[in-house]
Every structure is written in structure tokens, then in C-alpha cells.
Amino acid sequence: MKASLLVILCPTQKVKAQFLADQFSIPIIDGSHLAIAKPREIEGFVRSIVKPNHSETRFVFMLSDLGLSLSQIAEDNLLSIRADFYSPTVNYRRQKGGGKGQMIAKAIGLNSPTAPHVLDATAGLGGDAFVLASLGCPVTMVERVPEVHALLADGLRVAGAWGSAKDQTLIAILKRMTLVDSDAAEYMQTLEDTKKPEVVYLDPMFPLRTKSAQVKKEMHVFHQLIGKDVDADLLLQIAQECAQKRVVVKRPRIAPFLAGHEPNYTLEGRSNRYDVYLNH
């Protein structure tokens, strides 16, 4: 499924809105009269112009002074996602999240003076990539879904503007993050040996087991927008050929090994685990 239109909620963002509308070949709806409206009012306006039926889920870009978001509009809900690199929640995790003691840091081997270059082949909204960049790693984010890539690019733009005004340490982190618009398998196969990363990080989608509120809303949106990660098993093989030192696969704690391939070792948390495949 694809985004079907763009709602602009901030009159100063018209140039950006037109660029996105042209990129995705979708119409623009002017909702700038709702610039300071409450979320419920905005939802009501969007529902008045987009009326899904029981067999259809629609996706709408919304552009406000906070940046770009993507909303899933179904009969019974409206879920919005954005790439966030500077909110209080993100800043708190960056400052208090445990540093190199975090499982993800241990999984990628962040225990030497030089932080490894990580290729995040399934970037999503960039949350894990941002954590790794905040720990000093140069991170290349690869994202093939156009809508998600647009969210990432805008999230980096908005965070850069905020950081320039309020937090130069954020700017240093963002400079370690590079976004690539490509299919990850194709990208890894075209890399020259001298440019191959030390670590390839994979976080392929796993089928949702429940529709409860405990499942992150991003996952619901991704599953509706993208569908199944049908090439995840193949991606592991390509990642192992690409990575200089290791491949790290993030999985739900009870999920089977990717491609049925047992890792060298696993770090396990309450809900997720990291399977580590070492290249010797």
C-alpha cells in the first residue's frame, strides 16, 4: 500500500509539501487552518476527506511544523508515526539509557576504543541506528520503502534544525548517520571490499501475534504498509558476505532463528534478543 495524499498543517511548509507531493505523485490538501488544533480535531478533518471501508486501509502524509508523519487511517483507528531524533523521550534514553552497557551495544561489539561502522540494512524509523550513532558508531541506514525513507530524511532534517539551535551534541550524532535510498540486498552486493562495514545490523519484521495495545503502533503501521519481509532469510546470507566482522539480528525473544541459521551466540532480554553471527 502507498500514501494517497498529503495534508499540510503548516503554511510555512508549502515548498516542502510540493516537493513531497511531486515525489509521490499525490495531491495536497490544505489543512493549515488546523495548525494549532488538537489532535482529535486534526483526526476528524482527515477522516472527513479520507473514508476507508472495511477492506481498505489508507495512508496519508501529514506535514506540520514538527515535521513529516504518516498516518494509517482505518475504520476503527488512526495511527501516526514519524522519525524522532530529538524529543524529550529520545533525549532521555540518549542520556540515561545505559551507554555501552546496553544489549545492542554489546551485540555489535562496542567494546574497543574505535566504534565499528554499522550498516543498518532495515532502518525503519531509525531508532536503533540513532542509539548506535549516539554511542559513537558511524551508521549507514538503508531503507527501501519510499514512505519510510521520506520519514527518515525529514526526521534527520528536523532534528538537525533543532540541534543547531539547542544542542550541538545532537548535531555530532546526526553527522554519524548516513541515509541511503536503496534495497539493502542490492546495496550490500555492490559495495567494494574497502567500503564494507564491520557490522551489518538486521531487524526484519516478524508477524504480529496480537492486536493488543502492547504491540508498538509502528509495527501495526509497518505491517499494513509493507506486508511481509519475504526476503529476510536471503538478507542474512548477503549480510554475512558483506560484514567484515559480524552480523547482528534483532528478533522477538521467542522467534525462530532467521533462515533457521543458529548464531554463534545470543543476548536475550525480556521481549527481544540479539543473535550474533561472527565472521572469522
Res. 81 pLDDT band, cuts 50 70 90: very high
What is the Cα–Cα distance from 155 to 126, expressed in whole angstroms? 9
Domains present along the chain, CATH in parentheses? 3-81 (no CATH), 88-278 (3.40.50.150)
pTM for the full predicted model:
0.92
* Cα dihedral 21/26/29/35 (nearest 10): -50
- pLDDT tens string 177-212: 999 999 999 999 999 999 999 999 999 987 665 554
Exposure string over 19-36, b if 16+ CB within 10 A, otherwise e: ebbeebebebbebbebee
Res. 43 pLDDT band, cuts 50 70 90: confident
- pLDDT tens string 206-225: 766 555 444 566 777 877 77
Mean pLDDT: which of 75-84, 93-102, 171-180, 219-228 is highest? 171-180
User: Exposed/middle/buried for 186, CB within 10 Å: 0-12, 13-18, 19+?
Assistant: exposed
pLDDT of residue 54: 56
pLDDT at 161 over 70: yes
Q: In sequence order, what DSSP letters do the residues of 91-106 get, joined into one string?
A: HHHHHHS-GGGSHHHH
What is the Cα–Cα distance from 40 to 207, expressed in whole angstroms? 30
- Segment (H or E) for 132: helix 127-134
5 grid coordinates: 495524499
Q: What is the mean pLDDT of residues 163-182?
A: 95
Nearest to residue 239, comparing CAs of 152, 151, 140?
140
